[in-house]
Structure 1
Amino acid sequence: MTPGTPSSDPLLGLWATLGEPRLTGELARSGLGWVGLDAQHGHFDDRSLRDTLGHRSADAAPMLVRVAANDAALIGRALDAGADGVVVPLVSSVADAEAAVAASRYPPHGARSWGPLQGSRPAYGPGSDGGPHDVPLCAVMVETADALDAVEEIASVPGVDMVFVGPFDLSLALGLDVEDLLAATGDGTPLGRIVRACRNAGILAGAYAGTPGRAVLLAGAGFSWIAATTDTALLPFGVEAVRRQVHGDA
């Protein structure tokens, strides 16, 4: 499938917030397509990122780190720790996107400083500068009105591999209810415009859903990388599944 095209079979991922390396590692081996480690609003700090990324098994799903800010030092440390890519928040302009790309890539394609990884992954593994990436090295978040206004230009910045939508912040910025934002997916809608920009640029369109129901809406809109649930949401879901099995509920 060409990146950026609508897909009836999106790559479903987990958004990890608890900052617990062992739990996250087990979830990454459960059949998920990818895992996002949230170092902006979640509990992943420098130590837990390194423990999670450095001790994952060879069969674990790809891991992206949402860094706390569009900051070269934070981006470099996440990648040095072994992240397959970064999700950079609050990218509202071409200049912001260019800064995220520069921090993600080594010269001559960027300005990232080289350093040996602390984890078990090679320094030139997924996310190096060898060409198109099956796993996005640099994903930039569209979550402001300014970002939406510039989404075509942002998606076209060389080195941006994915535009990732934060629907809650974007809905707040646009003065919309998040459910109304997700339900409106035509060409003239915010989500439709973002998907079209990614398709035209030949890059991936990703988004945070948080629930399977929202994931269905985002898949229908054409997003191909979707965070369909969270680590915290899976815990009560698992308890409910056990209860149903024990009590024989349908």
Structure 2
Amino acid sequence: MPIRLELPPSLKDLFTETARAERGGRAAAGMFVCSGDPTVTEICASAGLDYLLIDAEHAPLGLETVQAQLRAAAGHGAVPVVRLPGLDEVLVKQYLDLGAQSLVVPMVNSAADAEAAVRAVHYPPRGVRGVGSALARSARWNRVPDYLERAADLLTLVVQVESAAAVAAAARIAAVDGVDGVFVGPSDLAASMGLLGRQTHPDVVAAVKDVIAAVRRTGKFVGVNAFVPDQAQDYLDAGADFVNVGADVALLARGTEALADAWCAPAEPGAAPRGSY
């Protein structure tokens, strides 16, 4: 008797009316995982977040590493999402085949870029994705019934708006058929606006909010990266559907700095040595 499996939800499933109601109407929240360590991914996936964004763009993560993290995250509640290194048909095919159901494609600057991303994630005749489901984890080696016919419904495509040109084209990008959602990257956006490292500059914040409004008008979901809590809340108040509020490596960096400040800074004159009684 053949084994029949079903795949878990993808990112777009967090934004159905039912899912929103189960969260009490709140937006979804998640974080980057960049370390490449499956144990770290498992810890983060089981912490109660809505999703994890596995970053193959800025972190040194290859196919095998990402697949290990997808396996580590499986069954722990948080939806795993993979950000690709770039828009490349071969990479899209490979990351989909290894089991990534939710993709973020960075540096999408126009509707034409978004259309290319849609083609990359779909099988012919709609797209150009190569067919290898019998060999791949995506279809659990042909144990997911009718995977080829259902793949479009099982996947989520998010395009990343992170340049001044993309902000101007945000409504056209979001309106592309096959784009499920938009993710705004304030850091690269700030750089493209001549404000490198100043992602909380009022002009950058205004541009992000313009994108949120434009995407929401198309009926697609939209999120933004914002590690500063007040900034994250401001974007949620502006209508963002999800917010990326941290990263494993950033949490480790700040946590170890706090330990060093507490235990390795020079003692005040006359103070008892740390650890003494």
TM-score range, shorter chain: 0.7 to 0.9
Correspondent of 2:151 among 117, 128, 135: 128
CA gap 1:34/1:24 in 2 versus in 1, 3 angstroms: same
- Equivalence for 1:35: 52
- Equivalence for 1:180: 201
Q: Which runs of 5+ in 1 are unaligned?
A: 245-250
Name which of structure 1's ranges 114-123 and 217-226 shifts more when overlaid on structure 2: 114-123
2:50·2:77 contact (CA, 8 Å) conserved in 1?
no
Superposed CA RMSD: 3.0
* 1:20 and 2:37 are equivalent in the alignment: yes
Rounded to whole Å, the distance in 2 between the matches of 1:182 and 1:137 is 30
Name which of structure 1's ranges 30-39 and 55-64 shifts more when overlaid on structure 2: 55-64
Q: Secondary structure at the match of 1:154?
A: helix
- Equivalence for 1:59: 76
CA gap 1:198/1:2 in 2 versus in 1, 3 angstroms: farther
Alignment-mate amino acid for residue 137 of structure 1:
T
Rounded to whole Å, the distance in 2 between the matches of 1:40 and 1:28 is 20
Identity of aligned residues (%): 33
Q: Secondary structure at the match of 1:14?
A: strand
Q: Secondary structure at the match of 1:213?
A: helix
Correspondent of 1:140 among 159, 170, 174: 159
CA gap 1:2/1:77 in 2 versus in 1, 3 angstroms: same
Name which of structure 1's ranges 58-67 and 34-43 shifts more when overlaid on structure 2: 58-67
Q: Normalising by structure 2, report the TM-score.
A: 0.74
**CA deviation digits over 1:130-176, x for unaligned, max 9?**
3xx7xx71111111111111111111000111111110000111124
Q: Normalising by structure 1, report the TM-score.
A: 0.81
Q: Which runs of 5+ in 2 are unaligned?
A: 1-14, 263-277
Rounded to whole Å, the distance in 2 between the matches of 1:38 and 1:236 is 17
After TM superposition, give the deviation of residue 34 of structure 1 in Å.
Answer: 0.3
**CA deviation digits over 1:176-212, x for unaligned, max 9?**
431124884xxxx312221122111111111111343
Rounded to whole Å, the distance in 1 between the matches of 2:75 and 2:190 is 38
More helix by share: 2
How many matched pairs? 232
Correspondent of 2:102 among 69, 85, 98: 85
Of structures 1 and 2, the larger Rg is shown by: 2
